[in-house]
Amino acid sequence: MNYFKAGAVLLLSTVISQQSISQVSNEPELNFDFAKRSYTTTSVEGKEAIKIDGYLDDSTWNEAAWTSGFVEFEPDNNTPPTQQTRMKILYDAKNLYVAFKCFEPNPETIVQRMGRRDEFPGDWVELNIDSYNDDRTAFSFTISASGVKGDEFISNNGQFDPSWNPIWYLKTNIDDDGWTAEVKIPLSQLRFSAEQDQVWGIQATRRYFNKEERSTWQPVPANPTGWVSSFGELRGLKGLQPQKQLEIQPYTVGKYDSYEEQQGNPFKDGRDGEFTAGLDAKIGITNDLTVDLTINPDFGQVDADPGAVSLDGFEIFFEERRPFFVENKSVFNYAFADSQDNLFFSRRIGRSPQGSASGPNTAYVDQPQNTTILGAAKFSGKTENGWTIGVLESVTGREFADVVTDSGEEAERLVEPLTNYLVGRVQKDLNERNSYVGGIFTATNRNMEEEVSFLHTRAFSGGLDFKHTWKDRKYYLSGSGVLSRVEGNSEAIASTQNSIVHLFQRVDAEHVEVDPERTSLTGTGGRLEYGRMGGGDWQYKLGGKWISPELELNDIGFLRQADDIRQYLTVRRMFTKPTSWFRRAVLGLNQHTSFDFEGNYNRVQYEVVGFVNYKNNWWSEGGAAHKPRIFTNTFLRGGPRWRFNEENYFFIFSGSDQRKKLATKFGWVHSEATQNQFSLDRFVVGMKYQPLNSLSLSLDLEYEKNPNRTQYVAEKAFNNSARYILGAIDQETLSATLRLNYNINPNLTIQYYGQPFIFKANYSNLNYVVDPVAKDLNDRVSWYGDDQISLENGSYLIDENRDNVTDYTVSNPDFAFVQYRSNLVARWEYIPGSEIFLVWSQGINGMGDVNNDFSGIVDNQLLRQKPQNTFLIKATYRFLL
């Protein structure tokens, strides 16, 4: 669980195993000086086998001593915890064994809530193992009192990745002294050196649910400069032999779809079915380096993306959810400008085909939803001398759409070519693990054919990054640089130059222009940042980044907008000492400015933010910002630079104690510009209810109203010049997200997810741009008079010069979008790593009537429509060889 992420509740997930013991001191010595602690383990090779049942009654447990002396981490740092915890560690040639005893004088108060894997419900303990002792990476194992597992891979000294799912074993038990946990971790799931005598970093953390308290075995200051680097030491590991991991996991999937039949459409007869099979494998080349393989991967259990509509023309970013790409994703991460701009965005692999089979004389089209991934492999790991290595190779197949022409002929049309994707990533620890340098290389190569010649034939990118820390990691300097090159025919490169990411056709830009003869583009980008990350109550960072106009990453990466130079400053004051009214608080200031490569000063913003966790565990967070200068190069989609009016906004969110069976939250975001150019009100209400330890429900409602007097509509020609048409928009969004989780036991769960999403955009008062950078809105645009515009048959007829002749027409832009998605999943992990899924999914997508209110849209476009139903059964078996 990431101890450095700020959230509305700041629930820091931690885990530790537990066990019942006798003859232990109830008053262990506590260490309050943050000195590094050490625990010496013992080999039990040849001893009686330990049975993992949660009772700790095996005689082998007597081979090692208990360690205790946990110290409170939160809320009252470096003080005695409410209840003490004890830990014991043993090992043999194949496994690491861990036992925990979590004392609680009233066992009835122990909270044994169930949850999905990696949810960290109720009381729990966590063990972190830095088996390379590199102060940067670690393996995390979390055990809840109810027996729910959590496991995460820790990178970059504090970034927790829950996608790591190793095979390990645990049992818990409640007794008169509290609760115990017994854990067995196969050494094949860890990575360590081949040295005869080894020292590992370890940390153990307990969540005491009744007081929302965290205590750690190794005392840690309130704002540590890093998480892994603050671990204590595990000694006594002798003669361990690195384990070469070999896991093979075949799968089979049966799928049946039913939907509303479309008369005359041979591709929509109301039902489809298919049976597929594939294989995933994990092969340990050495103890350090692993190869992951997937053949014909199945992504049937992927959660649906949330509903979203973009009116600004930019691509919407969605998180990766597919297991093969999510696991170990931190190795390949190269976010060089912000959290989204990245040289590698794995959702490009297996993306929706970029070509279209629709066209003249085409009656029906069966367009594939995704490109088939023929196979993929990852080679990744970290060596004992500090090299982090990752190589990913994937091939996607030629994808065809089936079509039926107006004359009834059947044909196939290519919509995606055979494509090879390659990513290589490397980092090297330096300066006694206080620094690192790294690099990345990506390549996309397409077997180009005429039907898809609008795509790049080849795309390459590379980058170098570094981070240096000093003074016990309190201060740091980090940076990165990237270079990209895309190649293709003149059509493909012209399309890139004209895309929303680049907009070389901007009429007032002197530093870029469209060259229709070019067959390649080369661009650069990067970032340089200095700051203080911890070790006190103050944190700050100052940095700058740039993205040149020709930088293009979207063949295998993600880039929202090129031609950008930014400066940013962030300052945080942490209040970690509890007072009479709060447990923890944060106050921060943010500032940034932006320019383009022509030197235009486009934006400045000042923001104050704050968070407080009250004494009763309620919480609030809020902030406000002032934006005195807002210019954008993209609003007019290739037209001149546009000015928005000065904007102010604030937000406030608050919620009740999230530990309670019934917890609520609410939020309000409000923004408005001068001259009423635009405004925003977003209201969020959430509820979480857990009537039983095994049953939880959550409901989140969100309503947004975003009127704008100057929303872009279209570009038209008038008197041999471009006319940029805008309109007043009344934009509303309503969504609800319902989740239900029922845990029969930690390995057998039923989960439901449902989300209706409605978006309405109602336009009026069309106007056109006169002076796009004028300070006064009335000088920026001109509104059409009643004698200039009329609406007929779904189009606006515009007679701008009032000569009774239509100068141009604009299609009525009003629309409503409706979506409903749901999943009901039963998951049974019948043995560790092997699972059976039963899935029922429903979906509705379509356009609604913008003149209806939300209740009418729900009735007509949701309740009265026949959804598409998907029934799926999937079985996997994980062989450990």
Q: Cα-Cα-Cα-Cα dihedral of 596, 598, 602, 605, to 10°? A: 50
pTM recorded for the entire structure: 0.88
Q: Is residue 841 part of a domain?
A: no
Q: What is the pLDDT of residues 514-566, one digit of tens each?
A: 999 999 999 999 999 999 988 889 999 999 999 999 999 999 999 999 999 99
Q: With 60 as the cut, is the pLDDT of residue 24 above it?
A: no
Q: Is residue 71 part of a domain?
A: yes
Residue 768 Cα to chain centre, angstroms: 39
Band of the pLDDT at 142, cuts 50, 70, 90?
very high
Q: What is the pLDDT of residues 71-81, one digit of tens each?
A: 999 999 999 99
Q: What is the pLDDT of residues 602-613, one digit of tens each?
A: 999 999 999 999
CATH number at residue 230: 2.60.40.1190
Q: What is the pLDDT of residues 448-458, one digit of tens each?
A: 998 899 999 99
User: Do 620 and 488 reside in the same domain of the chain?
Assistant: no
Q: What is the pLDDT of residues 176-224, one digit of tens each?
A: 999 999 999 999 888 888 889 999 999 999 999 999 999 999 999 999 9
Beta carbons of 534 and 227 less than 8 angstroms apart:
no
CA-to-CA distance for 329 and 71, rounded, in angstroms? 33
Q: What is the DSSP string of 812-841?
A: ---EEEEEEEEEEEEEEEEETTEEEEEEEE
How far apart, in Å, are the Cα atoms of 281 and each of 166, 167, 391?
A: 13, 14, 16
User: Do 569 and 472 reside in the same domain of the chain?
Assistant: no
User: Do 60 and 132 reside in the same domain of the chain?
Assistant: yes
Among 170, 204, 238, give the residue marking a domain's end. 238
User: Do 527 and 600 reside in the same domain of the chain?
Assistant: no
Q: Is residue 522 part of a domain?
A: yes
Beta carbons of 818 and 718 less than 8 angstroms apart:
no
User: Do 589 and 556 reside in the same domain of the chain?
Assistant: no
pLDDT of residue 224: 92
User: Do 445 and 514 reside in the same domain of the chain?
Assistant: yes
Q: Is residue 852 part of a domain?
A: no
How confident is the model over 778-796, as a mean pLDDT?
Answer: 93
162 closest CA partner among 126, 134, 192:
126
How confident is the model over 154-173, as a mean pLDDT?
Answer: 90
- What strands, in cross-sheet order, belong to the sheet with 85-91? 42-43, 85-91, 95-103, 178-186, 169-175
User: Do 555 and 588 reside in the same domain of the chain?
Assistant: no
Beta carbons of 141 and 185 less than 8 angstroms apart:
yes
- Collapse the DSSP code of 655 into the 3-class scheme (helix H, G, I; strand E, B; otherwise coil) and give the result: strand
Q: Is 388 exposed, middle or buried (0-12, 13-18, 19+ CB in 10 A)?
A: buried
Region class of 156: left (phi > 0), else alpha (psi between -120 and 50), else beta: left
Number of domains in the chain: 3
pLDDT of residue 42: 96
pLDDT of residue 534: 85
CA-to-CA distance for 813 and 851, rounded, in angstroms? 13
How far apart, in Å, are the Cα atoms of 497 and each of 545, 550, 558, 597?
A: 22, 8, 16, 15
Q: How many CB atoms lie within 10 A of CB 274?
A: 10
Tokens linked to 379 = 């080679």
How confident is the model over 753-764, as a mean pLDDT?
Answer: 93
Q: What type of residue is 256?
A: Y
Beta carbons of 300 and 274 less than 8 angstroms apart:
no
Q: What is the DSSP string of 569-596?
A: EEEEEEE-S--SSEEEEEEEEEEEEEE-
User: Do 129 and 167 reside in the same domain of the chain?
Assistant: yes
pLDDT of residue 11: 31
Band of the pLDDT at 303, cuts 50, 70, 90?
low
Cis ω on the peptide bond leading into residue 250 (within 30° of 0)? no
β-pairing verdict for 695-705 and 721-745? antiparallel
User: Do 75 and 194 reside in the same domain of the chain?
Assistant: yes
Band of the pLDDT at 298, cuts 50, 70, 90?
low
Cβ-proximal residues to 559 (8 Å cutoff; 6+ apart), any chain: 341, 501, 547, 551, 552, 553
CA-to-CA distance for 644 and 396, rounded, in angstroms? 43
Q: What is the pLDDT of residues 793-804, one digit of tens each?
A: 889 999 999 999
Q: How many CA atoms lie within 13 A of 501 on its CB side?
A: 23
Q: Is residue 735 part of a domain?
A: no
Average pLDDT of the chain, as a whole number: 90
Q: How many CA atoms lie within 13 A of 202 on its CB side?
A: 26
Q: Is residue 557 part of a domain?
A: yes
Higher pLDDT, 849 or 510: 510
How confident is the model over 434-455, as a mean pLDDT?
Answer: 94
How confident is the model over 603-631, as a mean pLDDT?
Answer: 97
User: Do 72 and 209 reside in the same domain of the chain?
Assistant: yes
Q: How many CB atoms lie within 10 A of CB 421?
A: 24
Angle (nearest 5°) at CA 707 between 701 and 710: 145
Q: What is the pLDDT of residues 304-355, one digit of tens each?
A: 667 677 777 788 788 887 778 877 788 899 988 777 899 999 999 999 899 9
Q: Is residue 865 part of a domain?
A: no
pLDDT of residue 9: 31
User: Do 573 and 590 reside in the same domain of the chain?
Assistant: yes
pLDDT of residue 299: 59
CA-to-CA distance for 521 and 562, rounded, in angstroms? 13
Choice among 5-9, 113-117, 616-620, 738-742 with the minimum mean pLDDT: 5-9
Q: Which residue has the tokens 């059976």?
A: 836
Residue 340 lies in domain: 290-296+317-351+373-399+416-535+550-561
User: Do 554 and 578 reside in the same domain of the chain?
Assistant: no
Q: Is residue 649 part of a domain?
A: yes
